[in-house]
Structure 1
């Protein structure tokens, strides 16, 4: 018997998934969680074999952080991400956090069932085209921002001007401009808008 946990911030999604798994005698939905924090707490109290987890979980921990926390437990479950988002950076972050697989919510019901079984058996679950994208992502050089550059980028993404960023971080405008030059160079972005978009594509914000 495969003991399963469902993690999604939408109760109706969890209800639909539970109904799906009720048709299979070898899979039992042992628990449900509406947040990453709740999932980690439940899994630490009553271990499960597989966690089927959404990527976006409201204001708390996302699927990546939840996966990492679950995999760090003494009796770690396998984690399958089930989501509507398929950005390369997000897929790669989940795999690097320890996820056994990444599925999109538009897959056939039988694919979800088979994937849970494969994950429980210790196999990686990725569609061939998705696996190719993960491999390509692993081969790309990592973009490493300093903590201050990351702060500047975060404020840049909210639309703040250089002066407003400087006031927020208690630094001079010249310092902000220097950080922006470094950020643009690392992201190979010619404009503020392009930098924000590139940062999102790389999962930096």
Structure 2
């Protein structure tokens, strides 16, 4: 699988470093760069990247609003990977709630950066459970609880969702439950559909905010 990436960061040094790391891989190509979120939508429309790796804090349009703009403005949006300095940054959580697929720490090692891009390109989420738990504790609300109750997840779907909140991939969940990966994919799809979630990240956030999984 070949993955095309658009880099968005207001620091040229960060973009240069990410490009060097990613383009050292035979299956990843950096097809464009931008210095602010305001440039993301037109570049996504013209370049059609698989993944947008985007800084959360930028001077004109930050990663939160840029995520919203892209998801609203493109019929089949790319996967969005937020780049951040601090994993417990409130901005990161807002970006995840807006629809980003996960986040990557700027201090991450090259192998971790490559893994992150490949993971979100394949449709997985990339979360740091401890960070999401601590931030989600501030967002619990009755609307989220009501939506979770209305979803009517089966016992097995609930189990799969709990494992998703631990940051486990489909393959890891399959191993944990001793079932096939395709079976897990079916359960994950059912969870997303019932919760009205765009992806795994949104489902995990719903699980925490509703109290389905305790943030603490």
Q: Normalising to structure 1: TM-score of the pair?
A: 0.64
Greater relative contact order (CA < 8 Å, ≥ 6 in sequence): 2
When Rg is computed on C-alpha atoms for both structures, the one with the higher figure is 1
The alpha-carbon deviation at position 11 of structure 1 amounts to 1.4
Name the structure 2 match of 1:100: 101
Q: Which consecutive unaligned segments of at least 5 residues does structure 1 have?
A: 143-205
Kindly tell me the number of residue pairs found equivalent between the two proteins. Answer: 141
Q: Normalising to structure 2: TM-score of the pair?
A: 0.61
Moved over 3 A (4+): 85-88
The alpha-carbon deviation at position 57 of structure 1 amounts to 1.2
Name the structure 2 match of 1:64: 64
- Match status 1:52 vs 2:33: no
| 1:95-153 C-alpha deviation (Å, 9 max, x unpaired) | 111000022211222111111111111111012212323442442579xxxxxxxxxxx
Query: What SS does the aligned partner of 1:125 have?
Result: coil
| 1:50-83 C-alpha deviation (Å, 9 max, x unpaired) | 000001112x110100111122212201111111
| 1:14-62 C-alpha deviation (Å, 9 max, x unpaired) | 111111112111111011111111111100122111000001112x110
Q: Does the aligned pair in 2 maintain the 1:100–1:125 contact within 8 Å?
A: yes
After superposition, the CA RMSD in angstroms is: 1.9
Q: Which consecutive unaligned segments of at least 5 residues does structure 2 have?
A: 144-216
Distance 1:7 1:66 in 2: 10
Q: Does the aligned pair in 1 maintain the 2:88–2:135 contact within 8 Å?
A: no
Name the structure 2 match of 1:89: 90
